[in-house]
Amino acid sequence: MKIAILTSGGDSSGMNPAIKKFVEYSLQKGYEPYFIYDGLEGLIDGKIKKASYKDVGGIIYRGGTIIRSSRSKRWFDKEYRKKAYENLKNHNIDLLIILGGDGSFRALDVFYKEFKVSFMGIPASIDNDLALNEYMIGVDTALNVIRHAIDEIRDTASSFSRAFVIETMGRECGYLALTSAVANGAEMCLIPEVPFNLNNLKKRYLKEINEGRRYFIAVVAEGLKITKKIKEWFEKEIGFESRATILGHIQRGGSPTVLERLRAAEFIKVALDNVEKNPNKIVTYYDDKFILRDLEEIVNSKYELNKEMLELAKHLMGII
């Protein structure tokens, strides 16, 4: 059985450990592993190559993806999707494994409906915004990158009695901001999913200043597009000199954490163990276990943040 793997959309740490496990476990099970370079763009262009142990030696500690990734505008044109299908057939690929996020699986959904290419999907994105799934490859490393950044920013915030507004990635999903704010003891957390109340926060902050507070850490999700406004709000309404820090793409890089490497291996194992008996599924991680779900169920469901985590962060949003 010939199985090809590609990484699609935004890169995330943990993709390389997944690629390494894919090659090694495929060979262990008697399958022939193939790489598709440059994501969906590479699939269109036929960048398909047989993989070996040599290709994955020494990659487990590296961030990013050695087979590279892309966002493909050409994929929206059926002519190019047909070309991608023909490339798979020319290499006699029996099944395709895609590591990606919501957009990648929507692209896969169209491809499968048109050409019935067998597949397995593995969630991989720091956004952690896939429905019916609680963990995507890349998330733990991104959270640790943010933790490190907040710890270092706090040193300056406390030294100069400043407010620091820290913007996290995640597109329209507030998962990274929410989790980071709670885990790192921030005083503010603003995310797209929950209405916040600056008036309530102002009352609380002014009271805390009178009681001795000398600096603020505010975590704001990029999807709100209000980082600069919140910086100005701290200066005008709270009376604190303020700085804005946009963490940006450092959140997508870095050496994968131990948890990341373990999860990546587990995702791949579940996928390869089911390529013959139960293909055409998305491998999800939910309620501390792996669950195979239909692609259609994934793309037609809406992602929701953890309610317990939201409850922990209510006071950081000005919700009384």
Tokens of 189: 């957390």
Looking at domain 140-252, its CATH architecture is 3-Layer(aba) Sandwich (3.40)
The pTM score is 0.96
In one-letter notation, the amino acid at residue 17 is P
Question: Tens digit of pLDDT for each residue in 112-165?
Answer: 999 999 999 999 999 999 999 999 999 999 999 999 999 999 999 999 999 999
Helix, strand, coil shares, percent, the chain, to 5: 45, 20, 35
- Residue in 94, 127, 129, 140 annotated catalytic: 127
Is the pLDDT assigned to residue 228 strictly greater than 90? yes
Same CATH topology for 2-138+256-301 and 140-252? yes
Token pair, residue 239, equals 């009376």
127 is catalytic: yes
Q: 320: pLDDT confidence band, cut at 50, 70 and 90?
A: confident
Q: Token digits for 27?
A: 């060979």
Residue 202 has pLDDT above 90, yes or no: yes
Helix axes 15-28, 258-273, angle to 10 degrees: 40
pLDDT tens digits, one per residue of 279-290: 999 999 999 999
Domain locations in the chain?
A: 2-138+256-301, 140-252
Q: Tell me which residue of 75, 85, 81, 4 sits closest to 37, measured CA to CA.
A: 4
As a whole number of angstroms, the distance between CA 191 and CA 177 comes to 7
Per-residue model confidence as pLDDT tens digits over 283-312 = 999 999 999 999 999 999 999 999 999 999
CATH number of 2-138+256-301: 3.40.50.450
Name residue, tokens 């597949």: 119
